[in-house]
Amino acid sequence: MSLFPRAFAPLAITIVCLLAPTGAAAQAPVSTGGAVFEAEPPPPPMETAGRWSGPEVPGTVAQLLADGTAAAPSEAPEQVKQAIWAANSLRDKPYKYGGGHARLRDTGYDCSGTVSFALAAAELLETPLDSGSFMSWGAVGRGRWITIYTHPGHAYAVIAGLRLDTSRAGMSRAGRGVVRASLEDGPRWRSMPRSPRGFTVRHPVSF
Q: Are 112 and 134 in contact (CB under 8 A)?
A: yes
For the cut 90, the answer to whether the pLDDT of residue 163 exceeds it is yes
Gap between the Cα atoms of 33 and 76, Å rounded = 39
CATH number of 56-203: 3.90.1720.10
pLDDT tens-digit profile of 179-189? 665 667 899 99
Total H helices, total E strands in the chain:
5, 9
Q: Which of 64, 63, 65, 66 is nearest to 74 (CA)?
A: 63
Please count the other Cβ atoms lying within 10 Å of the Cβ belonging to residue 164.
26
Residue 59 has pLDDT above 50, yes or no: yes
Residues 165-169: what's their mean pLDDT? 89
What is the predicted pLDDT for the residue at 103?
87
Q: What is the distance between the alpha carbons of residues 182 and 169, in angstroms, rounded to a whole number?
A: 10
In this predicted structure, the answer to whether residue 22 has a pLDDT above a threshold of 90 is: no
Backbone angles phi, psi at 38, to 5 degrees: -120, 110
CA distance to 83, 123, 129, 182, per residue, from 126 (Å): 13, 7, 9, 28
Q: Phi then psi for 15, rounded to 5 degrees?
A: -65, -40
Are the C-beta atoms of 106 and 70 separated by less than 8 Å? no
16 versus 169: which is more confidently predicted? 169
Which three-class secondary structure state does DSSP give residue 200?
strand
pLDDT score, position 203: 98
- How does pLDDT run across 97-151, given as a tens digit for each residue? 999 999 888 999 999 999 999 999 999 999 999 999 999 999 999 999 999 999 9
pLDDT at 7 over 60: no
| Number of C-beta neighbours around residue 93 at 10 A | 20
Task: Report how far residue 128's alpha carbon sits from residue 155's, in angstroms, rounded to the nearest whole number.
Answer: 12
**Res 207 pLDDT > 80:** yes
Q: Is 69 a residue whose pLDDT tops 60?
A: yes
Higher pLDDT, 102 or 47: 102
